[in-house]
Amino acid sequence: MVRRSSLVALAGLLVALAPDPRAEVAARTDLAGNYVATEIVTTGLRGEPVIWGLRGRVARRANILNPRGDQNGDLWPVIVESSQPQRHPWVVWSRFNGTDYDLAWSRWTPQGWRPVEPISPDSTSGDDLDPDLAFDGNGQAFLAWSRDDGGASEIYLSVWLKRRWMTAVVVSEPGVDSRYPVIVGFGDDAVDVEFTTPDGVVLQRVLFSKPGTITDDINPLQHLRVIGTPIYAGDDDGPDWEDR
């Protein structure tokens, strides 16, 4: 299992009262252009931190991601480095489309940040919020988030194929308000997703058929099965899985 590590060099946390706050998410590279770390600089307007913006020197501006995000109303991103040797960062966040929030993403490549794209090419109703991104030991990216469409919020799960994100699947219980997902681990052809419900914290294990090679035409979550809905007690040693 690959757990999330401390992957950002925190450049600073500033509180500013200026009417034009600036912040920054940027990739730091060495003189040869190789990725070194992701830097986050935040500022605050009347005590409320913001993250998107532009503070760096002109020479670094090509390394800045989503510099107008705060003006657009974009929410805080999740930033995770790949589990592969170069450890390039991937970034996912809730981006305001003028009506509600859809998920957007980008990742660092040797040529710089990829153009910002939606997770889903088709705009969905409701707000896609609280994304969580994680990589398994093979470098496969998994993404979980909640969607609030005015009723009970649901937890969605997707996996990066070869050139696109797979059509998302719902992994929470129907009709149960579910929020704040966290991908907590991986097993053999399984991913564990934890989230909150009105009854407490729930951990779902999602089993799927994963082929040897994932391409854009192969959906590893097409034949998924979700087992167990244990709720953690404060001193619980872990979930006791039972098939439904």
Sign of CA dihedral 158, 165, 152, 96: positive
H/E element, 35: strand 35-45
What is the Cα–Cα distance from 114 to 132, expressed in whole angstroms? 19
The residue ranges of the chain whose pLDDT is under 50 are 1-21, 230-244
In a domain, 90, yes or no: no
In a domain, 86, yes or no: no
* Residues paired with 213 in a beta bridge: none
Domain count, the chain: 1
In a domain, 21, yes or no: no
Residue 41 is which amino acid?
Answer: V
SS3 (DSSP) at 236: coil
In a domain, 28, yes or no: no
The whole-number pLDDT of residue 189 equals: 82
Residue 86 is which amino acid?
Answer: Q
CA atoms within 13 A on the CB side of 164: 12
The range of the structural domain enclosing residue 214 comes to 119-244
25-64 tens-digit pLDDT: 999 999 888 999 999 988 766 667 789 988 766 556 779 9
The whole-number pLDDT of residue 9 equals: 32
